[in-house]
Structure 1
Amino acid sequence: MTTTPLILLAAGGTGGHLFPAEALGVELMKRGLRVRLVTDSRALRYSGLFSTDMTDVVPSETVRGRSPLALARTGLTLATGTVVALRLMRRLKPAAVIGFGGYPTLPPLIAARLAGIPTVIHDANAVMGRANRFLSRRVSAIATSLPGVLYKEPSLIGKTTTTGTPMRPAVLAAAAVPFAAPGPDDPLRVLVVGGSQGARVMSDIVPGAIEKLAAPLRRRLVLTQQVRDEDMARVRAVYDRLGVAAELAPFFADLPARLAASHVIVSRSGAGTVAELGAIGRPSILVPLPGAIDQDQFANAGVLADAGGAIRMVQADFTPERLAAELSALAGDPARLAAMAAAARTVGRLDAAERLADLVMKVARLDSPA
């Protein structure tokens, strides 16, 4: 049996949760610690740091409705997951359990508390998520990506540290690429993304906006757009008709490099996207997901917009006419693009993984074994 301390990382099965967990895992392994991932079944398709032999799946469920039946089903699944996670804690005996938000983190974090194991939660949003809010009074320490997240909760401030969002190696490599504003006749590289699942609104609005651009600007355009499979044919037809150089795909595995290669990014404003835009330093037009209870994406976009690195546009204003006007204005003002890139960079924290690892080791009462 190895005596090297184990840190258990708990994350939901989406990139916004898994990527920071991966970045922290890389840093902890550099320090000579072992890491494992505990997650839900969605992460089994994940091909990053955590191979199947480093991953434990615990039953979990998100609150999907307010009916008594839906709430009962969710509660039963979470209770089952907690029992499974408690057995996992007794078998693995981790030195600490670190949660990265989302309902799949509830069973392992609750089980860790029941087992007397130190716990940390990390929240990447400008508004703390519901699962993390539930856990916040029950964990040993809280890490946030942005300052002021818990300013309305003075009782929690004493155990809260602002670390930033840990960045995986691909983002750190992209952050080393300097921004070069395009000249008047240079290609204008625009990247359109909609989160890990894509966003239909981008397929509905962006092609119409591109059509409204002046012909000389369309000829300069080099467009890369994330498009769902079911929308691919209609989006492709518009760009083919306009003669626009466009690369379309449902998913880009090398997204950090594509962010670094772009002059303007049009995107949703999930926590991971905003953190990567800040780390890499690129101008953006951000369209928060509407209808969210906590309005977290609106708040996330506001962080970059307030810094001067982004234009925040609520979805009701996200029309072909408005987007075309914003793109035209940015294309005609390279100095503004350069200033936005520099402003976005002020929001990024490239040392977040190290800062969070320091907190984890403090909570776990570990000296670096490396």
Structure 2
Amino acid sequence: MIVRRIALAAGGTGGHVFPGLSLAEALVGRGHVVHVLTDTRGTTFHDTIGKTCTVHKVRAASPSQSGPAAKLGAIVQLSLGVLDARGILKRNRIDGVVGFGGYPSVPAVIAGSIGRLPTILHEQNAVLGRANRWLLNRATAIATSFEHTAGLSHTDIKVARTGNPVRASIAARRNVAYGPFGRESEFHLCVFGGSLGAEVFSNTVPAAIASLDKDLRARLVITQQCRPEDLEQAESFYRNIDQAATIQTFFNDIPEKLAAAQLVVARAGASTVAELGVIGRPAILVPYSHAMDDHQSRNAEALEAAGAAWCMSEDRLSADLLATRLRTLMEDPHKLATAARSAWDFGIPDAAERLADFVLEHLAERAVFKNPSEVEKISRGANRTSERRALA
């Protein structure tokens, strides 16, 4: 087997890090050598794949900061990061670079471009992110997560939809059945507000639950994530209306909670949308109104268009509107089951393997390999991987 040395560039939030982790695992599982270039926040890489991949820290910062001094400082840090990355790529004889968006990926992708290496971008959202927009002219290919990605209509580079890789613990619950449940059975409602919770959910969801009829409330099994500063208030509200609920600032078993849910109330970050699709759970999505380029609204709209979710604007969200939606769905098991199936159809559980195929095939197409016959070997290997997944 031909072993390739591939650099992955990701850092910052989990939405960029988790797909990088998944691709690293897929490539290492095929016997390739992976180097990870990340920023000071990318400690997740050390904790999870430090034994199988080499992790490098490069300097990076966001030029979107306010104030000319901060912007100038960020540009200096990014420039120094490019120097860091160029040295890492040369010393380790890297064959190609994969960037996962966010400014921590910028130095490695620019360094790869300067070194004339194949540079592949991965976009997790339905809107091309600022860093990826900035890097698009330097990239040789881009992998997307959604069928349509805003900001990508005019490009000459290779584009393929691979999906957004999810954690193995999520993919493992792909075939957990939804339901069955009836009008009188327990109804598991999960409320997640992203990695740090969401104030709007802490205030609005308990009030919406309070306005439901007693027979509906009696069925509810509520799991809700809250910000630390909202925890006491939410617990007190539920206690005052005599409503049982499991409320925490963080859950270690989110895959298990999602699989048990009949309905999810959540933000519409890329990872959340991908996970809902892989497990196949219907959701009420409330996009974060201050998300960059309003990308969460585009994510939510894509899932809603697939018949798998209901999108509610944060600006217009109220306890009454949410209660009406909850009441309607709890009284219509067929509608929820149909949405769950649509979510399942929307999901791409093998996105990490698809992305690995795309990366390796693109390296071959860009004539990285000195022996032309290696292109055919890579293609045959990718085809065998696809066949195994189809038979699984």
Task: Give the superposition deviation at 1:244.
Answer: 2.0
Measured in 2, the distance between the counterparts of 1:192 and 1:32 equals: 39
**CA shift in 2, pair 1:181/1:302, >3 Å:** farther
Q: Is residue 115 of structure 2 the alignment partner of residue 101 of structure 1?
A: no
Residue matched to 1:59: 59
Letter in 2 for 1:17: H
Task: Give the superposition deviation at 1:146.
Answer: 1.1
Q: Is residue 363 of structure 2 the alignment partner of residue 355 of structure 1?
A: no
Measured in 2, the distance between the counterparts of 1:269 and 1:34 equals: 33
Task: Give the superposition deviation at 1:49.
Answer: 3.3
Measured in 2, the distance between the counterparts of 1:28 and 1:255 equals: 26
Residue matched to 2:264: 265
Letter in 2 for 1:264: L
SS of residue in 2 equivalent to 1:154: coil
Task: Give the superposition deviation at 1:293.
Answer: 4.5
Identical pairs, percent: 40
Residue matched to 1:120: 120
| CA offset digits 1:298-338 (Å, max 9, x no partner) | 00000111111100000022111111111111111100110
Number of residue pairs aligned between Structure 1 and Structure 2: 367
Residue matched to 2:27: 28
Cα contact 1:140–1:159 (8 A) shared by 2:
yes
Measured in 2, the distance between the counterparts of 1:152 and 1:19 equals: 23
Task: Give the superposition deviation at 1:116.
Answer: 2.2
Q: What aligned pairs does 1:171-320 form with structure 2 within 5 A after superposition?
A: 171-320=170-319
| CA offset digits 1:336-363 (Å, max 9, x no partner) | 1101101112211122222211111122
Measured in 1, the distance between the counterparts of 2:48 and 2:113 equals: 26
Cα contact 1:222–1:244 (8 A) shared by 2:
no
Letter in 1 for 2:11: G
SS of residue in 1 equivalent to 2:315: helix
Task: Give the superposition deviation at 1:47.
Answer: 6.9
Measured in 1, the distance between the counterparts of 2:40 and 2:253 equals: 23
Task: Give the superposition deviation at 1:160.
Answer: 0.7
Cα contact 1:5–1:95 (8 A) shared by 2:
yes
Q: What aligned pairs does 1:310-349 form with structure 2 within 5 A after superposition?
A: 310-349=309-348
Task: Give the superposition deviation at 1:173.
Answer: 0.8
Query: Which protein, 1 or 2, shows the higher relative CO under an 8 Å CA cutoff with sep ≥ 6?
Result: 1
**CA shift in 2, pair 1:320/1:341, >3 Å:** same
Cα contact 1:96–1:363 (8 A) shared by 2:
no
Residue matched to 1:68: 68
Gaps of 5+ in 2: 365-373, 386-392
Letter in 2 for 1:357: A
**CA shift in 2, pair 1:87/1:307, >3 Å:** same
Task: Give the superposition deviation at 1:25.
Answer: 1.4
- TM-score, scaled to structure 2: 0.89
| CA offset digits 1:118-173 (Å, max 9, x no partner) | 211000111110100111111111100112225763333x5111111122211111
Residue matched to 2:154: 154
Task: Give the superposition deviation at 1:68.
Answer: 1.6
Measured in 2, the distance between the counterparts of 1:123 and 1:295 equals: 15
| CA offset digits 1:229-249 (Å, max 9, x no partner) | 111111111112222221112
Aligned-residue Cα RMSD (Å) equals: 2.0
Residue matched to 1:168: 167
